[in-house]
Amino acid sequence: MISVSKSVLRRKVAELLVVRASGHASDSEREHPLWELTNSQLERLLGEGVGGVILFGGSTSELRYRCQRLQGWAARPLLLCADAEEGLGQRFAGGTWLVPPLSLGKIFQKDSQAALKMAEHYGSCIGEQANRCGLNWILAPVCDVNSNPRNPVINLRAWGEDPITVSELVCAFHKGLSSKGVLSCAKHFPGHGDTEVDSHIDLPILGHNMSRLEELELVPFQSIIAAGVSSIMTGHLLINNIDPINPATLSTKIISNLLRGSLSFQGLVVTDALIMSAITKKFGPGEAAVMAFAAGADLIMMPESPDKAIDAIVDSLLKESIPLSRLEESLSRRRLALEGIKEVKCADSKEFFPPESLNFESISEKQFSKELINKSLEFRNPGKIKSTVSGINLLWIDSIFSSPLINSSAPAIYLPELAGFRSLICHPSGVSPWQDDPNSPLALDNIGHGPVLLQLFIRGRPFSGTAYRKEPWISAVKQLQRRELLDGLIVYGCPYLWFELLEALDESISAAYSPGQMPEAQSHAISSLFDSDCAKATLSLLMFKEFSD
C-alpha cells in the first residue's frame, strides 16, 4: 500500500511536467495563446510543484526577466528550456541566430576537423547565451540522420545525412554546450530522419527492423550517450517491427527495453510535446501522460492539460498500476540533472529589462555567425544583375507566421527595391503566384513583364506537412527563362530544392543558395548577385545600418 498522501504525491508528480510559456511578460503578448499558459495558470502550476517550463518568443532581455520571474513562482529549482537548435536568436530577438546544423554537415564532408571545431563553438555559443538569459536546458542536438530528402520536419535541423557525420558533429556540439554548464537533449529517439510525415500533424510509421536501426538511426544516439548527454527526447514514431501498437513515446519496448536496456542510457528521458497530433489524434491528455510515464519517460513535455496529466499519473500510482519506485527513479534523475546548475534569483519587479542586456550579443558571437553564413553560401554567376526600373522581386515564403524573416526592413525586400525591383510576396496563407489550376506554371501575366528576381524561402517546417510544397517551381523557372525574364534565383533553406532547380537553370543565370534564412544571410546572398555598382550601394547601406545598430 502507498503511504504517501495524495497531495504530497501530486506535488511529486507535478515535478515531472514541462509546460509551455511565452518569453513575453504579459499575457496579451503571447504569440501562441492556444499553447502558452497565462501568467495566472503558470503561477498556480509552478506553485503546485510543476518542475519545468519551455519558453518561446520575446527578446533576450525579456527572457532573462521571464526566467527569473518563473523561478520566483516555483516551489523548487526549475528546468528552464528552449527549443533553440539554431541559437537563441532563432526563438528570441537579440540572440545569435546560427545557420542550420545541416550546413555543418556539408562542411564536414569537405573538412571534418574544421566542421568539428565549428560544431563545438556552435554549442558553446548557445550555452553562453542560455546562461545570460537564465536557461539551463537546451533541447538540442537533433540526432536524427536526415536520410530522406523528402523529410518535412527534420530536414535542415539534422547535422547530416549519414550516421558518422551526425555522430561526430552532435558530440562536438554537446561538448561545447555542456562546457557552459547547460543541459543538452538528444532527439528524436529512436530516429525521425527517414519520415515523410510530420509528427506535428500525424503519426509517422516506419518499417525499420532492429538491424536497420543499429546500422543507421541508433548510431548517433549511441555516440552521444557515450559522450554523457544529459537527456534524450523520444519521437512520436511508430516503428512497427519493434512495437506495432504504441508510438515510441508511449512504448515500453522502445524506452525501457531499447533505450534504457540495450543502450544503457541512465539520464533523463523526456517526451516530445504531447500536444502534437501524432499523439492527440488517438490518446487523451491523461491517457498519453500515463502511458509515457509507464513506458519509462521521466519528464512529460507540454501535455494538453497539465492538471489532467498530473491527476491521471497520481491515480495510476495510487492504484499501483505503476509502482511508486518509477516515480522515485524519475525524480532522482531530475535532481541529478539539476546538480551544479545555479538557481536563478527571483526578479525584482523594478528590474524589468536589465541594462546590460542591451549589448546581449558579443562581437565574437556576431563574427562566428557571419563566418558560418559565408562558409555555407553557394553562388553561380555572381555580380551580373543590374539595376532596372521595371523589375519584379518575387518572394515565396513557406510560412508567413513562423519568424521575423520578412518585414519592411528585411534585406530580401529593401535591397532589391534599391535596384528597381518591385516586391511581390507570396505565401500559403495569402497571395499565391499560381493560377487556379495548382499544376499551372507561374502566372506571369499577373506580375508584369520586367526582369524577375525569384527568392524562395523554403525549408522543412513543423505543421507545414511537406518539406517543400508541390508548387511547380521547376516549371516556373523554365517558363521565366523561355521568356527571358529570369534575372536571378535565390533559395534560402532546403538544399534538395536548390539541387533540383540548378538542373533546370540556364548556366548564364545568376543564382545563390543559403541554408540560413536570417537577415544577415539575405544580405550576403543578394549583394553577391548584383553588379559592382549595385553591390557598392548595397555595401554602403549595410555598413551604415550595422554602424547605426
Q: What stretches in the chain show pLDDT beneath 70?
A: 1-3, 340, 342-359, 400-405, 429-448, 460-471, 532-549
Parallel, antiparallel, or unpaired for β 378-380 and 510-514? Answer: antiparallel
CATH architecture label of 9-351: Alpha-Beta Barrel (3.20)
E strand intervals along 166-288: 185-189, 205-206, 231-234, 238-239, 268-270
Please name the residue that has the C-alpha cell 528550456.
Answer: 81
pTM above 0.85, yes or no: yes
The pLDDT, as a whole number, for residue 342 is 56
Q: What is the DSSP secondary-structure string of 61-73?
A: HHHHHHHHHHHHH
C-alpha cell at 79: 528546468
The pLDDT, as a whole number, for residue 312 is 97
Asked if 71 contacts 344 with a C-beta cutoff of 8 angstroms, the reply is yes
110 burial (CB, 10 Å; 0-12 / 13-18 / 19+) is exposed
Give the integer Cα–Cα distance in Å for 66 and 89: 16
The pLDDT, as a whole number, for residue 531 is 85
Omega of the bond prior to 141 within 30 degrees of 0, cis?
A: yes
Phi-psi region of 505 (alpha: psi -120 to 50; beta: other; left: phi over 0): beta
- Every domain range in the chain assigned CATH 3.40.50.10870: 377-548
Asked if 388 contacts 420 with a C-beta cutoff of 8 angstroms, the reply is yes
- Every domain range in the chain assigned CATH 3.20.20.300: 9-351
345-380 pLDDT, tens per residue?
Answer: 544 444 444 444 456 899 999 999 999 999 999 999
388-406 pLDDT, tens per residue?
Answer: 888 999 998 887 554 556 7
Paired with 380 in beta bridges are: 511
Please name the residue that has the C-alpha cell 532581455.
Answer: 61
Is 272 designated active site? yes
Catalytic residue among 194, 198, 243, 272: 272
Give the gyration radius of the chain's Cα atoms: 24
CATH dotted code for 377-548: 3.40.50.10870
DSSP class of residue 403 equals S
Distance from the Cα of residue 534 to its chain's centroid? 35
